[in-house]
Amino acid sequence: MNSKRIRVTLGVMLLCGASALMTVPAAAQSSSPAAKTGDSSAANANELVQQLLKPLTSTTRGTVSVEGKSVSYAAVAGTLVVNGTGNDEATPQVAMGYFAYFKEGADRAKRPITFIYNGGPGSSTMWLHMGAWGPKRVVTNDHTHTPAAPYQLVNNDYSLLDASDLVFIDMPGTGFGRLLAQGKDAQERAKNHKELAGKIWGVDGDGKVFARFITQFLSKYNRWNSPKYLFGESYGTTRSAVLAADLETRNNVDLNGVILLSQILNFGTSVDGADMSPGNDLPYVLALPTYAATAWFHHKLPKYDKGGLRPLLEAVNKFGTEEYQPALYAGATLSDAKRQEIAGKLHDFIGLPVDYLLKADLRVTGGMFEQQLQIAGDLATGRLDTRFSGPAMDPLAKSTSYDPQSAAISSAYVAAFNDYVRTELKLGDGLTYRPSAYGATDFNWDMKHNAPGSRYPSEGALNVIPDLAAAMKYNPNLKVMMLGGFYDLATPYYAAVYELEHMPIPAFLRKNISYAFYPSGHMVYAHLPSLKAMHDHVVKFIEATDNQKR
C-alpha cells in the first residue's frame, strides 16, 4: 500500500505499496508535536533541513523468535545524507531514512544483506517493515476492517532476520528523510527544492539516488563483501529493475538476487486505465485470472463454486488465450453471435452480468470490476486485496473511488509504526514521519525513462523489462524470484508472469527466474499463512544463492 493512494491516470495507473502504486491518504499522515521541527512553514522547513544535514543515528538491541529460533540483533535507525543529483559529490542533496537490523555475533563479511523498499511511487517502507520482514509485526484482520486503536504489535514469527541482515529504505521525501534544498531565503529555497525534486522524483533519478544510498551504506557498515539482495514491492519492483541495472553496470556491485513482490515492470500491461488506451487489449486478458479468483472467493461463480481455485485458474487461462484474446483482437469485426457467446462465457468466469459485459464491449477495467462485482449488496471490492469489501461510496459510479483494503489496515500500520519507532528504536522525537511523499504538497513523479542502450527517454508507457534483462546479462549468475498474490488487482500475477516470460534474455538465463504465488493480495504478508510460506520460500532462495559453499 506499499504500497496507498487512489488511481492517477497517466494512461496507466501508478502503484504503491502498502505497497502498490498506492500511498496513504493525506489524512493518515502523522503530525509533529513540536512546531519548531515540523513541515508546516517555510521557516520550520528550513530549520528541519539544517537539522538533517547531519546524519541521525539511534542504535538499540533486541531479540526476535523466528519459527522457534531466537535471533539477537542490533537495530540502527537513522538517516544517510547522500548526493541526489550526481553533479557534485561533495554537496549533500538528500537525507534518506533507513532502519537496519544486524544479527549479533554474525560475520558481517559473509552474512547476507537485503535492501528492502516499498513502491508508490511515493511510499515509505513502513509496510514491509511492519507487515513482512521486521522483528515486530502489526496485527490486522485478515480480510475485514481492523478496529481502531489500540493496535497490537507482536513478535514477528516470520521475520527475515533468520536468513539475512535487513535494511528498510524510505525513498526521498518520505519517512524522516527530506530533500535538502538550501538557499539564502524562502524563495530561493523553494526554487532549489523544485529543481532538486525534478531530478530525484522520477524513474531514473530515483534509481540513481538509491544506488548512491546503497553504495554509501556498504562503505559505512563495511558490507561490500556481503551477499547482496534487493527486495522491492509494487513500484519497488520497477525500482529494482532500474536499480539492479545501475548497480551492476555503473557501480560494479554484483547482486546475488533480486526478489520482486507484486511486480509491475511494463505499465502497458496494467488494467487500471486500460480504457484510456484503445487498441491495447492485452491488459484485459492478463487481469482475467485475478477477476476469476476474486469472483470465486466471493461466491459469484455458481458453475465453479464447488471446485478449487487451481482448476478454475487453469480453465480461465485456457479461455483467455484461446477464445477471449482472439475475440478482443477481432475488434469491430467480431460477429454479434460470437460477441454474445464470449460474454456468456466471461460471465461464467468473472460473475458480472452478460448485459453489462456487452455494454462494456467485453472490456472491464480494474475499477469497473471492483465497483460491479458486489454492487447488488452495495459493496465495493478491494483493489490491493480483492478478498476485502467495503461500502460502495457511490452505487451508481462506473468505478470505485477508494480501496477497501487500504481503508481497512492503513491506520493500524501508521499508528503502530509511529509508536514503535519512537518507543523502541528511539528515533523521531519532535519529527514527522511521512508514510507517503504525498505529505509534500509539490510531489510529482516523472515517468520518463532512459532504458539501457536508449539515446532518449521513452514517451509511452513505462517499461523497465530491458533494465532487468540488462542486469541479468551483465551478471549471468544473478537470480530473480517473483512473488505474487492471486487476489492482487493492482498488479495482477498473470501480468507479472507474462512480463518475465517476454524478457529479452538468452534461453539459458531463464533458469535463473523462479516464481511463487499465494492465496493473498498485493500485500501478500497481510495474510498470515501466506507470510509464513513466503518467508520459507525467500529463505530457501537466499540460502541457494549466497555463495557460501563455493
pLDDT in tens, 374-384: 999 999 999 99
Q: Find out whether 446 and 203 touch, Cβ atoms under 8 Å.
A: yes
**Beta strands 257-263; 479-485: pairing state:** parallel
> For residue range 93-148, what is the model confidence (pLDDT) as tens digits?
899 999 999 999 999 889 999 999 999 999 999 999 999 999 999 999 999 999 99
- Residue 28: band (very low, low, confident or very high) from pLDDT cuts 50, 70, 90: very low
Minimal CA–CA distance to 17: which of 322, 381, 378, 262? 262
Percent of the chain with pLDDT over 90: 80
Q: What is the mean predicted confidence (pLDDT) over 211-227? A: 96
What does the pLDDT read at residue 265?
A: 98
- Per-residue pLDDT for 401 more than 50? yes
Residue 90: pLDDT over 70: no
Domain spans of the chain?
A: 16-269+411-545, 274-401
485 has a pLDDT exceeding 50: yes
The pLDDT of residue 455: 82
Supply the pLDDT for residue 345. Answer: 98
Residue 59 belongs to what H/E stretch? strand 57-66
pLDDT reading at 188 higher than 80 = yes
- Is 177's pLDDT higher than 60? yes
Average pLDDT over the chain reads: 90
In total, the chain counts a number of residues equal to 550
Contact 158, 535 (CB under 8 A): yes
The model's pLDDT over 279-292, given as tens digits with 9 standing for 90+, comes to 999 999 999 999 99
Topology adopted by domain 16-269+411-545 = Rossmann fold (3.40.50)
DSSP string over 148-215: SSSP-EEE-TT-GGGT-EEEEEPPTTSBT-EE----SSHHHHHHHHHHHHHHHSBHHHHHHHHHHHHH
pLDDT at 40 (0 to 100):
52
Q: What is the pLDDT of residues 503-549, one digit of tens each?
A: 999 999 999 999 999 999 999 999 999 999 999 999 999 999 998 76
Averaged pLDDT, 449-466: 90
pLDDT of 7 strictly over 60: no
The Cβ of residue 354 has, within 10 Å, a number of other Cβ atoms equal to: 14
Q: How confident is the model at residue 41 (pLDDT cuts 50, 70, 90)?
A: low
Digit-coded pLDDT (tens) for 229-248? 999 999 999 999 999 999 99
- CA–CA dist 476, 474 (Å, integer): 6
Report the alpha-carbon distance of residue 367 to residue 399 in Å, rounded.
Answer: 5
> Where does the pLDDT of residue 6 fall: very low under 50, low under 70, confident under 90, or very high at 90 and above?
very low
The band of 168, judged by pLDDT with boundaries at 50, 70 and 90, is very high
pLDDT recorded at residue 369: 98
